[in-house]
Structure 1
Amino acid sequence: MLLAVISDTHMPLGKRRLPVEHLVGADAILHAGDFSARSVLEELQTLGPPVHAVRGNVEDPWIHTHLPLQRTLEFAGVRIGMIHDAGPAAGRLARLRRRFRDEDAVIFGHSHIPLHETAEDGFQIFNPGSPTEKRRQPKFTMGYARVDDRTVTFELVELG
Protein backbone atom coordinates (compact mmCIF):
# COMPACT_ATOMS: atom_id res chain seq x y z
CA MET A 1 0.00 0.00 0.00
CA LEU A 2 1.34 3.43 -0.99
CA LEU A 3 0.41 6.55 0.97
CA ALA A 4 1.32 10.02 -0.34
CA VAL A 5 2.28 12.32 2.54
CA ILE A 6 2.16 16.11 2.32
CA SER A 7 1.88 19.07 4.65
CA ASP A 8 2.04 22.84 4.75
CA THR A 9 0.66 23.58 1.29
CA HIS A 10 -0.43 27.11 2.28
CA MET A 11 -2.58 27.63 -0.80
CA PRO A 12 -3.87 29.33 -2.80
CA LEU A 13 -1.02 31.80 -3.00
CA GLY A 14 0.88 32.94 -6.08
CA LYS A 15 1.81 30.24 -8.57
CA ARG A 16 1.87 27.38 -6.05
CA ARG A 17 0.53 24.06 -7.21
CA LEU A 18 0.04 20.65 -5.70
CA PRO A 19 2.40 17.86 -6.87
CA VAL A 20 -0.54 16.07 -8.50
CA GLU A 21 1.66 13.68 -10.48
CA HIS A 22 3.00 12.28 -7.18
CA LEU A 23 -0.42 11.98 -5.56
CA VAL A 24 -2.82 10.38 -8.05
CA GLY A 25 -1.27 6.89 -7.98
CA ALA A 26 -1.35 6.57 -4.20
CA ASP A 27 -3.83 4.45 -2.27
CA ALA A 28 -4.47 7.42 0.04
CA ILE A 29 -3.26 10.98 0.60
CA LEU A 30 -2.29 12.08 4.12
CA HIS A 31 -2.10 15.86 4.72
CA ALA A 32 -0.59 17.01 8.02
CA GLY A 33 -2.24 20.44 8.07
CA ASP A 34 -1.88 24.02 6.92
CA PHE A 35 -3.98 23.77 3.80
CA SER A 36 -4.93 27.41 4.47
CA ALA A 37 -8.12 27.16 2.41
CA ARG A 38 -10.93 24.66 1.97
CA SER A 39 -10.39 24.77 -1.80
CA VAL A 40 -7.05 22.96 -1.38
CA LEU A 41 -8.70 20.07 0.47
CA GLU A 42 -11.39 19.94 -2.20
CA GLU A 43 -8.78 19.90 -4.98
CA LEU A 44 -7.02 16.97 -3.29
CA GLN A 45 -10.33 15.13 -2.97
CA THR A 46 -10.89 15.34 -6.75
CA LEU A 47 -7.68 13.41 -7.45
CA GLY A 48 -9.19 10.04 -6.59
CA PRO A 49 -7.38 8.59 -3.57
CA PRO A 50 -9.12 9.15 -0.24
CA VAL A 51 -7.75 12.14 1.67
CA HIS A 52 -7.09 11.94 5.43
CA ALA A 53 -6.04 15.14 7.15
CA VAL A 54 -5.64 17.16 10.31
CA ARG A 55 -5.94 20.90 10.68
CA GLY A 56 -2.96 23.18 11.00
CA ASN A 57 -2.50 26.55 12.64
CA VAL A 58 -3.28 28.77 9.61
CA GLU A 59 -6.59 27.38 8.37
CA ASP A 60 -9.73 29.12 7.20
CA PRO A 61 -12.73 28.76 9.54
CA TRP A 62 -14.27 25.85 7.59
CA ILE A 63 -11.09 23.72 7.81
CA HIS A 64 -10.68 24.61 11.47
CA THR A 65 -14.23 23.44 12.20
CA HIS A 66 -14.25 20.27 10.07
CA LEU A 67 -10.81 18.69 10.56
CA PRO A 68 -9.48 17.23 13.82
CA LEU A 69 -6.40 18.47 15.63
CA GLN A 70 -5.01 14.93 15.65
CA ARG A 71 -6.13 11.53 14.44
CA THR A 72 -5.03 7.93 14.07
CA LEU A 73 -5.51 5.84 10.95
CA GLU A 74 -4.90 2.15 10.36
CA PHE A 75 -3.59 0.74 7.10
CA ALA A 76 -3.00 -3.01 6.77
CA GLY A 77 -2.35 -3.39 10.48
CA VAL A 78 -0.13 -0.31 10.82
CA ARG A 79 -1.40 2.52 13.05
CA ILE A 80 -0.32 5.99 11.93
CA GLY A 81 -0.99 9.07 14.03
CA MET A 82 -1.25 12.53 12.53
CA ILE A 83 -0.80 15.96 14.10
CA HIS A 84 0.28 19.29 12.63
CA ASP A 85 2.51 20.86 15.28
CA ALA A 86 4.73 18.34 17.08
CA GLY A 87 6.34 21.01 19.27
CA PRO A 88 10.01 21.87 19.77
CA ALA A 89 12.71 19.70 18.22
CA ALA A 90 14.25 18.88 21.59
CA GLY A 91 12.61 15.74 22.93
CA ARG A 92 10.16 15.45 20.01
CA LEU A 93 10.57 11.73 19.37
CA ALA A 94 9.98 10.78 23.02
CA ARG A 95 7.16 13.32 23.42
CA LEU A 96 5.29 11.98 20.38
CA ARG A 97 5.86 8.42 21.57
CA ARG A 98 4.16 9.30 24.87
CA ARG A 99 1.27 11.07 23.12
CA PHE A 100 0.69 8.30 20.53
CA ARG A 101 1.24 5.21 22.69
CA ASP A 102 -0.51 2.69 20.45
CA GLU A 103 0.71 3.97 17.08
CA ASP A 104 3.57 2.65 14.97
CA ALA A 105 4.38 6.07 13.51
CA VAL A 106 3.35 9.73 13.55
CA ILE A 107 3.22 12.13 10.61
CA PHE A 108 3.47 15.83 11.37
CA GLY A 109 4.23 19.15 9.68
CA HIS A 110 4.46 22.81 10.76
CA SER A 111 8.23 23.37 10.53
CA HIS A 112 8.51 22.79 6.76
CA ILE A 113 11.70 20.89 7.61
CA PRO A 114 11.77 17.27 6.41
CA LEU A 115 12.56 14.82 9.19
CA HIS A 116 12.50 11.08 9.75
CA GLU A 117 13.49 9.57 13.11
CA THR A 118 13.12 6.11 14.58
CA ALA A 119 13.04 5.21 18.28
CA GLU A 120 14.68 2.12 19.73
CA ASP A 121 11.30 0.34 19.84
CA GLY A 122 10.74 0.97 16.09
CA PHE A 123 8.31 3.89 16.53
CA GLN A 124 8.86 6.45 13.75
CA ILE A 125 8.12 10.14 13.23
CA PHE A 126 8.02 11.71 9.78
CA ASN A 127 7.70 15.29 8.54
CA PRO A 128 7.44 15.52 4.73
CA GLY A 129 8.43 19.19 4.57
CA SER A 130 6.37 21.22 2.10
CA PRO A 131 5.69 20.76 -1.63
CA THR A 132 4.86 24.46 -2.05
CA GLU A 133 6.70 26.55 0.58
CA LYS A 134 10.24 25.35 1.20
CA ARG A 135 11.30 28.36 3.25
CA ARG A 136 15.01 27.85 3.97
CA GLN A 137 15.11 24.28 2.69
CA PRO A 138 17.00 23.55 -0.56
CA LYS A 139 14.08 21.71 -2.22
CA PHE A 140 10.33 21.40 -2.13
CA THR A 141 9.50 18.01 -0.63
CA MET A 142 6.78 15.51 0.17
CA GLY A 143 6.89 11.89 1.18
CA TYR A 144 5.64 8.38 0.66
CA ALA A 145 4.76 5.84 3.30
CA ARG A 146 4.80 2.23 2.12
CA VAL A 147 2.83 -0.20 4.26
CA ASP A 148 3.65 -3.86 3.80
CA ASP A 149 3.49 -6.88 6.09
CA ARG A 150 2.47 -4.77 9.14
CA THR A 151 5.43 -2.39 8.74
CA VAL A 152 5.70 1.17 7.42
CA THR A 153 8.64 2.59 5.51
CA PHE A 154 8.95 6.33 4.85
CA GLU A 155 10.62 7.92 1.84
CA LEU A 156 11.33 11.64 1.36
CA VAL A 157 10.65 12.83 -2.19
CA GLU A 158 12.46 15.92 -3.49
CA LEU A 159 10.38 17.91 -5.97
CA GLY A 160 11.65 20.29 -8.68
Structure 2
Amino acid sequence: MLVVCSDTHGTDDSHLLGRTREAVAAADLVIHAGDFTTPAVLDAFRSLADRLVAVHGNADTEAVRARLPPAATTTYADVPVAVTHTERGGATGLSLFGRERGAALVVSGHTHRPTTVAGDDGGPTLLNPGSHADPRGNRPGHAELWSVDADLPPVVRDADRPASGLVGVLRTPDGDVFDRIRVPLQD
Protein backbone atom coordinates (compact mmCIF):
# COMPACT_ATOMS: atom_id res chain seq x y z
CA MET A 1 0.00 0.00 0.00
CA LEU A 2 1.07 3.55 -0.80
CA VAL A 3 0.09 6.17 1.80
CA VAL A 4 0.14 9.90 1.05
CA CYS A 5 0.18 12.63 3.70
CA SER A 6 0.89 16.34 3.76
CA ASP A 7 0.82 19.49 5.87
CA THR A 8 1.42 18.03 9.31
CA HIS A 9 2.52 21.41 10.77
CA GLY A 10 3.76 19.85 13.99
CA THR A 11 6.44 21.05 16.36
CA ASP A 12 7.38 17.87 18.20
CA ASP A 13 4.78 15.27 17.17
CA SER A 14 3.64 13.74 13.87
CA HIS A 15 -0.01 13.85 15.00
CA LEU A 16 -0.47 10.43 13.41
CA LEU A 17 -3.63 9.05 14.98
CA GLY A 18 -6.10 6.26 14.27
CA ARG A 19 -6.30 4.98 10.72
CA THR A 20 -3.66 7.45 9.50
CA ARG A 21 -1.10 6.03 11.95
CA GLU A 22 -2.07 2.43 11.12
CA ALA A 23 -1.76 3.12 7.38
CA VAL A 24 1.64 4.84 7.67
CA ALA A 25 2.98 1.96 9.79
CA ALA A 26 1.67 -0.68 7.34
CA ALA A 27 2.62 1.08 4.08
CA ASP A 28 5.20 -0.16 1.60
CA LEU A 29 5.83 3.50 0.75
CA VAL A 30 4.81 6.75 2.44
CA ILE A 31 4.88 10.00 0.46
CA HIS A 32 4.73 13.30 2.35
CA ALA A 33 4.18 16.48 0.35
CA GLY A 34 5.81 18.89 2.78
CA ASP A 35 5.21 21.10 5.79
CA PHE A 36 6.40 18.78 8.53
CA THR A 37 7.61 22.07 10.08
CA THR A 38 10.39 20.71 12.36
CA PRO A 39 13.03 17.97 12.19
CA ALA A 40 11.32 16.20 15.13
CA VAL A 41 8.17 15.72 13.05
CA LEU A 42 10.15 14.53 10.01
CA ASP A 43 12.03 12.07 12.24
CA ALA A 44 8.75 10.80 13.72
CA PHE A 45 7.53 9.96 10.21
CA ARG A 46 10.85 8.32 9.32
CA SER A 47 10.72 6.16 12.46
CA LEU A 48 7.23 4.87 11.65
CA ALA A 49 7.44 4.47 7.86
CA ASP A 50 9.49 1.67 6.33
CA ARG A 51 10.14 3.84 3.26
CA LEU A 52 9.53 7.60 3.10
CA VAL A 53 9.76 9.90 0.08
CA ALA A 54 9.25 13.52 1.12
CA VAL A 55 9.70 17.10 -0.03
CA HIS A 56 9.89 20.29 1.99
CA GLY A 57 7.12 22.85 2.09
CA ASN A 58 6.91 26.59 2.60
CA ALA A 59 6.41 26.31 6.39
CA ASP A 60 9.32 23.95 7.02
CA THR A 61 12.23 25.23 9.06
CA GLU A 62 15.64 25.64 7.47
CA ALA A 63 16.77 22.44 9.22
CA VAL A 64 14.02 20.47 7.41
CA ARG A 65 14.71 22.25 4.10
CA ALA A 66 18.35 21.20 4.36
CA ARG A 67 17.29 17.54 4.58
CA LEU A 68 14.59 17.44 1.88
CA PRO A 69 14.35 18.51 -1.77
CA PRO A 70 11.62 20.84 -3.09
CA ALA A 71 10.48 18.14 -5.55
CA ALA A 72 10.95 14.39 -5.93
CA THR A 73 10.08 11.55 -8.25
CA THR A 74 9.57 7.93 -7.31
CA THR A 75 7.78 4.83 -8.52
CA TYR A 76 5.20 2.68 -6.80
CA ALA A 77 3.96 -0.55 -8.44
CA ASP A 78 5.49 0.61 -11.74
CA VAL A 79 3.53 3.88 -11.57
CA PRO A 80 5.72 7.00 -11.84
CA VAL A 81 4.91 9.59 -9.16
CA ALA A 82 6.05 13.23 -8.97
CA VAL A 83 5.89 15.03 -5.61
CA THR A 84 5.92 18.74 -4.77
CA HIS A 85 4.47 20.89 -2.02
CA THR A 86 2.98 23.44 -4.38
CA GLU A 87 3.35 24.61 -7.94
CA ARG A 88 2.42 27.96 -9.48
CA GLY A 89 -0.50 27.79 -11.85
CA GLY A 90 -2.81 25.53 -9.84
CA ALA A 91 -3.96 22.36 -11.57
CA THR A 92 -2.37 23.40 -14.88
CA GLY A 93 1.00 23.99 -13.20
CA LEU A 94 0.79 20.68 -11.34
CA SER A 95 -0.14 18.84 -14.55
CA LEU A 96 2.84 20.40 -16.38
CA PHE A 97 5.10 19.50 -13.44
CA GLY A 98 3.95 15.88 -13.74
CA ARG A 99 4.22 15.74 -17.53
CA GLU A 100 7.79 17.07 -17.39
CA ARG A 101 8.65 14.17 -15.08
CA GLY A 102 6.71 11.48 -16.97
CA ALA A 103 4.42 10.95 -13.98
CA ALA A 104 1.03 9.25 -13.97
CA LEU A 105 0.38 10.67 -10.47
CA VAL A 106 1.27 14.09 -9.07
CA VAL A 107 1.16 14.49 -5.30
CA SER A 108 0.99 17.97 -3.79
CA GLY A 109 -0.02 19.67 -0.56
CA HIS A 110 -0.18 23.28 0.67
CA THR A 111 -3.96 23.89 0.45
CA HIS A 112 -4.93 21.51 3.29
CA ARG A 113 -7.91 20.59 1.09
CA PRO A 114 -8.18 16.92 0.04
CA THR A 115 -8.56 16.93 -3.73
CA THR A 116 -8.29 14.55 -6.66
CA VAL A 117 -8.35 15.60 -10.29
CA ALA A 118 -8.47 12.94 -13.01
CA GLY A 119 -5.83 13.29 -15.69
CA ASP A 120 -7.10 14.59 -19.00
CA ASP A 121 -5.65 14.09 -22.47
CA GLY A 122 -3.17 11.57 -21.09
CA GLY A 123 -2.09 13.90 -18.29
CA PRO A 124 -1.38 12.81 -14.74
CA THR A 125 -3.90 12.34 -11.97
CA LEU A 126 -3.51 15.09 -9.36
CA LEU A 127 -3.76 14.21 -5.67
CA ASN A 128 -3.68 16.47 -2.63
CA PRO A 129 -4.37 14.35 0.48
CA GLY A 130 -5.19 17.40 2.59
CA SER A 131 -3.87 17.44 6.13
CA HIS A 132 -4.39 14.69 8.68
CA ALA A 133 -3.40 17.03 11.53
CA ASP A 134 -4.19 20.64 10.57
CA PRO A 135 -7.17 20.62 8.17
CA ARG A 136 -7.93 24.36 8.51
CA GLY A 137 -11.67 24.05 7.96
CA ASN A 138 -11.36 21.16 5.51
CA ARG A 139 -11.93 17.48 6.18
CA PRO A 140 -8.77 15.93 7.71
CA GLY A 141 -7.33 13.33 5.38
CA HIS A 142 -4.68 11.08 3.96
CA ALA A 143 -4.68 8.85 0.86
CA GLU A 144 -4.24 5.09 0.54
CA LEU A 145 -3.53 3.52 -2.87
CA TRP A 146 -2.96 -0.01 -4.16
CA SER A 147 -1.83 -1.51 -7.46
CA VAL A 148 -4.77 -2.80 -9.49
CA ASP A 149 -2.81 -6.08 -9.67
CA ALA A 150 -2.70 -6.46 -5.85
CA ASP A 151 -5.06 -8.41 -3.65
CA LEU A 152 -7.27 -5.39 -3.09
CA PRO A 153 -8.92 -4.65 0.26
CA PRO A 154 -12.73 -4.47 0.36
CA VAL A 155 -12.70 -0.66 0.41
CA VAL A 156 -11.52 -0.61 -3.25
CA ARG A 157 -12.30 -4.14 -4.46
CA ASP A 158 -15.44 -3.03 -6.31
CA ALA A 159 -14.02 0.28 -7.49
CA ASP A 160 -13.91 1.27 -11.14
CA ARG A 161 -10.38 0.06 -11.88
CA PRO A 162 -8.18 1.02 -14.79
CA ALA A 163 -6.54 -1.82 -16.75
CA SER A 164 -3.24 -0.91 -15.08
CA GLY A 165 -2.21 1.62 -12.47
CA LEU A 166 -3.51 2.38 -8.99
CA VAL A 167 -6.81 2.63 -7.16
CA GLY A 168 -7.34 4.16 -3.78
CA VAL A 169 -9.29 6.25 -1.32
CA LEU A 170 -9.09 9.43 0.67
CA ARG A 171 -9.73 8.70 4.37
CA THR A 172 -10.08 10.57 7.62
CA PRO A 173 -7.94 9.64 10.63
CA ASP A 174 -11.14 8.01 11.95
CA GLY A 175 -11.07 5.67 8.93
CA ASP A 176 -14.04 7.10 7.04
CA VAL A 177 -13.70 6.96 3.24
CA PHE A 178 -14.77 10.19 1.57
CA ASP A 179 -13.42 9.97 -1.99
CA ARG A 180 -12.02 7.45 -4.49
CA ILE A 181 -8.86 7.74 -6.56
CA ARG A 182 -8.07 6.22 -9.99
CA VAL A 183 -4.57 6.47 -11.46
CA PRO A 184 -4.52 4.82 -14.89
CA LEU A 185 -1.25 4.10 -16.66
CA GLN A 186 -1.28 5.34 -20.23
CA ASP A 187 -0.62 2.76 -22.95
Given residue 83 of structure 1, which amino acid in structure 2 is its aligned partner? T
- State the percentage of identical aligned residues: 28
What does residue range 1-150 of structure 1 map to in structure 2 within 5 Å?
A: 2-12=1-11, 17-19=15-17, 20-89=21-90, 92=91, 94-101=92-99, 102-120=102-120, 121=122, 123-137=124-138, 139-149=139-149, 150=164
The secondary structure found in structure 2 opposite 1:100 is helix
Given that 1:86 and 1:109 are in contact with CA atoms closer than 8 Å, whether structure 2 keeps it comes out as no
Aligned to 2:167: 153
Given that 2:143 and 2:168 are in contact with CA atoms closer than 8 Å, whether structure 1 keeps it comes out as yes
Bigger fraction of residues in helix: 2
Given that 2:8 and 2:134 are in contact with CA atoms closer than 8 Å, whether structure 1 keeps it comes out as yes
Question: Unpaired runs of 5+ in structure 2?
Answer: 150-163, 175-187
Looking at both structures, which has the greater relative contact order when contacts are Cα pairs under 8 Å and sequence separation is at least 6?
A: 1
Return the offset for 1:122. Answer: 5.6
Q: CA separation in 1, counterparts of 2:24 and 2:61?
A: 23
Q: How many aligned positions are there? A: 154
Question: Unpaired runs of 5+ in structure 1?
Answer: none
Given residue 116 of structure 2, which amino acid in structure 1 is its aligned partner? H
* Deviates further, 146-155 or 62-71: 146-155
Given that 1:76 and 1:148 are in contact with CA atoms closer than 8 Å, whether structure 2 keeps it comes out as no
RMSD: 1.9
Return the offset for 1:63. Answer: 1.0
TM-score (norm 2): 0.75
Given that 1:73 and 1:80 are in contact with CA atoms closer than 8 Å, whether structure 2 keeps it comes out as yes
Given that 2:14 and 2:41 are in contact with CA atoms closer than 8 Å, whether structure 1 keeps it comes out as no
Return the offset for 1:96. Answer: 2.1
The secondary structure found in structure 1 opposite 2:48 is coil
Q: CA separation in 1, counterparts of 2:112 and 2:89?
A: 13
TM-score (norm 1): 0.87
Q: CA separation in 2, counterparts of 1:68 and 1:96?
A: 17
* Deviates further, 118-127 or 52-61: 118-127
Q: CA separation in 1, counterparts of 2:58 and 2:147?
A: 29
Return the offset for 1:133. Answer: 0.5
